Amino acid sequence: MTRHLPVVLCLLAVGVGLSSPARAARRTRPLFEPTDLELEDPGTVEIDLQVGFVQSHGPGRLVIPDFELDVGITRMVELDIDAAYAIEGPQSGPFSLDHSAPDSLWAAAKVGLISVDGESAGVGLGLQVGPKLPVASGSHGVGVEGLLLIGLRRGPAHLVVNLGAFVDPAPDPAAGRPRGIEGGLDVDVDLDDRNRFSLTGELGGVRFLSDDPNQLTATGGLAWSVTPRLELSVVALVGILSGGDRYGLLLGLSPKFHF
């Protein structure tokens, strides 16, 4: 079963997105979430699932789920599939399950270019790039997104600088493509010698080159490695600019498998 798990999850995400009615107006582009520079071992699959509620400056949405699938191909190459499915509320009034709101699916290769790791400090450089697929109902055109990843480690602190650009699929036939440049920081601080507990944080921003409001969002949370193959987390989100979400709370589950 684990051998076919990546394919099954991708087909489910695409099928759900294509079956969703196009009832919503043009949505705000999903927030940019800075990523880390960790590469899975060859033959290892990690599924990063998050569920919760997020309130935008318009409707709120129930995220069920936001997921990232990482598949180790070689020691320096990883396949990443990133997508999300949510139920969004109406533009005004109390929240209700009004319409579906799937995001585009990003299928990317993450490649490690340089890694220098000492006993107390280290540095790494990598790339993550790939197409954005229009799986949401009404969206069209294949997009692309690419990131340069610069990783720094000092003692228990891990910092990854993200710098990149994107062109997304158009959300509907009458709309233009969201496009812009993006950047952010991904931070992880180990709290104990066994690496069981850690503080996590992200700061991500988008400067749009299209007619979309700019975004700047911060997150913070706590991660618990229950076993070497299972991590649980809780993350709070706060929007700083009006182009993104206002606040949210997400619960995470990240199991690992071998195939």
Share of the chain above pLDDT 90, in %: 68
The pLDDT value given to residue 108:
98
Under the banding of pLDDT at 50, 70 and 90, the label for residue 89 is confident
What is the C-alpha separation between 223 and 254, in angstroms, rounded?
10
Q: What is the pLDDT of residue 19?
A: 37
What pLDDT does 206 receive? Answer: 96
pLDDT grade for 258, boundaries at 50, 70 and 90: very high
Return the pLDDT at 12.
39
pTM: 0.85
Could you count the other beta carbons within 10 Å of the beta carbon of residue 97?
11
State the Cα–Cα distance between residues 60 and 49, nearest whole angstrom.
Answer: 19
Q: In CATH, what is the architecture of 2-21+31-258? A: Beta Barrel (2.40)
pLDDT digits (tens, 9 = 90+) for 21-35: 433 344 566 678 889
Least confident of 14-18, 124-128, 156-160, 238-242: 14-18
What does the pLDDT read at residue 97?
76
Domain borders along the chain are: 2-21+31-258
Q: Determine the pLDDT at residue 90.
A: 84
Q: What pLDDT, in 10s, does the model give residues 166-213?
A: 999 998 888 889 999 999 999 999 999 888 999 999 999 999 999 999
Instruction: Please say if the pLDDT value at position 112 is more than 60.
Output: yes
User: What was the pLDDT predicted at 204?
Assistant: 96
Contact 146, 164 (CB under 8 A): yes
Q: Can you list the positions of beta strands (E) in the chain?
A: 44-56, 60-74, 77-88, 99-100, 105-117, 121-133, 143-154, 157-167, 179-190, 197-208, 215-227, 230-239, 245-258
Q: Cα separation of 156 and 135, whole Å? A: 39
pLDDT at 145 over 80: yes
What pLDDT does 16 receive? 38
pLDDT of residue 92: 73
pLDDT mean over 49-61: 91
Beta strand pairing status for 99-100 and 105-117?
A: unpaired
Do residues 13 and 104 make contact, with C-beta atoms less than 8 angstroms apart? no
How far apart CA 253 and CA 75 sit, in angstroms, is: 24
Question: Which residue did the predictor score with more confidence, 14 or 223?
Answer: 223
Beta strands 60-74 and 197-208, pairing class: unpaired
- For residue 136, what pLDDT is reported? 83
Tokens of 54: 């997020």
